[in-house]
């Protein structure tokens, strides 16, 4: 899905559902960062597949470790932003690494379902996940859109529960 925000839908929903186990900002970034590859292919008019090496599990794994290292370095600077959105959380390198792995691999699997140029098991030239039906990818787009709606609902519930818990603590 080059140049689209669709991956943010599942990222938002899953990131909020598994908030306790994942580093939320890392998970969001991990779900979209691989699309730098198709953006560069389009912008630089490269003779290269839109969903090339970094849309494979091997290429994605390289990004996993680079992203985890980078997010671990800058994680503290994100605290004011997370506080503003009431998404404060304690983080660790383990959470950051898990978030990076899961986000990037989810992205690769979603794209593998709908893009013929994706080779998830590179250097092998096959994609067992590709849907070649007439409505190929429609399920993924619907899933991503519903994930975004579900993510907004999950965020609203999280905010409401946070406020309720604050009031309960203040009344004690």
- pLDDT tens per residue across span 146-162: 999 999 999 999 999 98
Residue 150 inside a domain? The answer is yes
pLDDT 10s digits, 27-49 = 999 999 999 999 999 999 999 99
Q: Is residue 1 part of a domain?
A: no
- Asked whether the bond before 123 is cis by omega within 30 degrees of 0, the reply is yes
Domain with 163 in it:
8-171
Sign of CA dihedral 74, 76, 79, 82: positive
Q: What is the pTM of this model?
A: 0.90
What single-letter DSSP state applies at residue 152? H
Q: Is 3 in contact with 38 (CB distance < 8 Å)?
A: yes
Residue 164 has pLDDT above 90, yes or no: no
The answer to the question of residue 167 being in a domain is yes
**CA geometry: angle 138, 143, 148, nearest 5 deg:** 130
Q: Is the pLDDT of residue 127 over 80?
A: yes
Query: Is residue 4 pLDDT above 70, yes or no?
Result: no
Residue 132: per-residue pLDDT:
86
Inside any domain, residue 33: yes
Q: pLDDT for 63-114, tens place per residue?
A: 999 999 999 999 999 999 999 999 999 999 999 999 999 999 999 999 999 9
For residue 2, being part of any structural domain is answered with no
The answer to whether position 83 is within a domain reads: yes
Domain total for the chain? Answer: 1
């Amino acid at each position: 899905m080059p140049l689209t925000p669709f991956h943010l839908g599942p990222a938002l929903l899953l990131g909020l559902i598994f908030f306790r186990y994942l580093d939320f900002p890392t998970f969001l970034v991990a779900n979209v960062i691989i699309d730098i590859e198709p953006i560069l292919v389009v912008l630089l008019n490269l003779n290269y597949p839109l969903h090339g090496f970094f849309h494979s599990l091997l290429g994605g794994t390289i990004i996993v470790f680079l992203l985890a290292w980078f997010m671990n370095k800058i994680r503290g600077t994100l605290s004011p932003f997370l506080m503003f959105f009431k998404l404060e959380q304690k983080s660790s390198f383990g959470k950051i690494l898990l978030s990076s792995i899961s986000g990037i691999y989810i992205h690769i699997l979603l794209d593998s379902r709908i893009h013929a140029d994706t080779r998830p098991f590179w250097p092998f030239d096959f994609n067992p996940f590709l849907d070649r039906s007439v409505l190929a990818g429609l399920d993924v787009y619907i899933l991503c859109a519903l994930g975004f709606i579900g993510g907004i609902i999950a965020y609203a519930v999280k905010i409401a529960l946070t406020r309720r818990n604050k009031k309960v603590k203040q009344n004690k």
